[in-house]
């Protein structure tokens, strides 16, 4: 596909697809407020959790629930939970010992806004609060499955951050295999989990869960390939986070290993793979939203 024939982010009814965002924000704010916390810790997590972000993971969770015939409210606890885990991952990702970033979501990172101790502790809280939320808000027969799903994906994300930051791969592992291992874990795991938890809360049977899993796996990897491309093609002002960090820090990325054109071709391949997953589901509004969300995620510019 040439750049001229490539669809742009403006072509999607993003407002419609992302409509549950306001309800997710309100749900997260209510849960955080219901929990006694030191005032400064409450302020720190509110700053990071409720201060912007595309909310793609909660929306994927809700749309996956709808795609298998469930309703938005059934997916609200895991939707909020996955955004909290994502937010924890970003706070820690930005710390000086990690990517050392000053800007996130168009504002100073949490450790710049407060201090490093608070950023570490706020991240810690946002790693456990979601499990409290799931255990207290979901029906008992679902809570155990969702806790297992979320805990596994969170641990895979942490493993992915280690592969990214402190790589210790066997010498005979190819660069492409290393790259896939980093990206599938650090980013793919939470996105796949968002989709699967939504489908589980919509009471999907095994066949539908497998279809949603195929979709989630493909867009999870695709998401980080696009993130890598944006890091070298967009400005910091546009992204709301520092551009050019990956080259500066010598990170292993799709463009650095495969080049820009091959990375774009990989996005297109993964987009088709995600569509193939959805093709196994009976068509409904949720499935159409997931398809559009995938196509938007392939062409997003921030």
Please state the closest distance from residue 4 (CB atom) to ligand IPE, in A.
26
Please state the closest distance from residue 227 (CB atom) to Mg ion, in A.
4
Report the C-alpha gap between 241 and 229 in whole angstroms. 14
The option from ligand IPE, Mg ion, none interacting with 156 (CB < 5 to 8 A, set by class) reads none
Non-local CB neighbours of 117 within 8 Å, separated by 6+ positions:
none
Q: Which is nearer to ligand IPE, 16 or 244 (CB)?
A: 244
Pairing of strands 103-104, 107-108: antiparallel
Q: Which is nearer to Mg ion, 157 or 281 (CB)?
A: 157
Q: Which is nearer to ligand IPE, 208 or 241 (CB)?
A: 241
- Nearest CA to 40 out of 130, 102, 119 is that of 119
- Residue 32 near residue 45, CB atoms below 8 Å: yes
- Residue 161 near residue 93, CB atoms below 8 Å: yes
Q: Which is nearer to Mg ion, 245 or 288 (CB)?
A: 245
The option from ligand IPE, Mg ion, none interacting with 263 (CB < 5 to 8 A, set by class) reads none
Please state the closest distance from residue 224 (CB atom) to Mg ion, in A.
8
List interacting residues with ligand IPE (CB under 6 A).
53-54, 56, 89-90, 93, 99, 105, 157, 161, 186-187, 224, 227, 241
Write the DSSP assignment of 158-191 as a string of letters.
HHHHHHHHS----TTS-HHHHHHHHHIIIIIHHH
Torsion (CA) 110, 111, 117, 118 in degrees, nearest 10 = -20
Q: Which is nearer to ligand IPE, 114 or 224 (CB)?
A: 224
Give the DSSP letter of residue 104: E
The option from ligand IPE, Mg ion, none interacting with 53 (CB < 5 to 8 A, set by class) reads ligand IPE
- Residue 44 near residue 69, CB atoms below 8 Å: no
Please state the closest distance from residue 177 (CB atom) to Mg ion, in A.
19
Q: Which is nearer to Mg ion, 18 or 252 (CB)?
A: 252
Please state the closest distance from residue 152 (CB atom) to ligand IPE, in A.
15
To 5 degrees, how large is the angle CA 82–CA 143–CA 221?
35
- Nearest CA to 246 out of 237, 238, 236 is that of 236
Query: Residue with CB nearest Mg ion?
Result: 99
Structure tokens at 197: 């938890």
Please state the closest distance from residue 16 (CB atom) to Mg ion, in A.
27
List interacting residues with Mg ion (CB under 5 A).
93, 99, 227, 231
């Amino acid at each position: 596909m040439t750049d001229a024939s490539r669809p742009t982010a403006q072509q999607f009814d993003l407002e419609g697809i992302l409509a549950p965002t306001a309800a997710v924000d309100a749900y997260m704010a209510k849960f955080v407020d219901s929990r006694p916390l030191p005032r400064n810790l409450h302020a720190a997590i509110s700053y990071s959790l409720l201060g912007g972000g595309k909310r793609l993971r909660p929306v994927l969770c809700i749309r996956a629930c709808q795609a298998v015939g469930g309703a938005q409210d059934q997916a609200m606890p895991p939707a909020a939970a996955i955004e909290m885990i994502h937010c924890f991952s970003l706070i820690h990702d930005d710390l000086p010992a990690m990517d050392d970033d000053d800007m996130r979501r168009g504002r100073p990172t949490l450790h710049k806004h407060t201090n490093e101790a608070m950023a570490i502790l706020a991240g810690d809280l946002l790693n456990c609060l979601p499990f409290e939320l799931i255990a207290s808000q979901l029906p008992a027969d679902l809570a155990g499955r969702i806790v297992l799903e979320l805990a596994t994906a969170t641990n895979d994300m942490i493993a992915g951050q280690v592969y990214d930051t402190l790589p210790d791969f066997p010498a005979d592992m190819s660069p492409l295999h290393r790259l896939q291992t980093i990206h599938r874990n650090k980013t793919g795991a939470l996105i796949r989990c968002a989709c699967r938890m939504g489908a589980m809360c919509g009471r999907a049977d095994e066949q539908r869960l497998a279809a949603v899993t195929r979709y989630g796996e493909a867009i999870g990897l695709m998401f980080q390939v696009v993130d890598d491309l944006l890091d070298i093609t967009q400005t910091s002002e546009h992204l709301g986070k520092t551009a050019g960090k990956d080259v500066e820090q010598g990170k292993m990325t799709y463009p650095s290993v495969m080049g820009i054109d091959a990375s774009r071709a990989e996005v297109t391949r993964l987009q088709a793979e995600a569509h193939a997953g959805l093709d196994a589901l009976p068509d409904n509004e949720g499935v159409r939203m997931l398809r559009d969300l995938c196509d938007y995620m392939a062409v997003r510019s921030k």
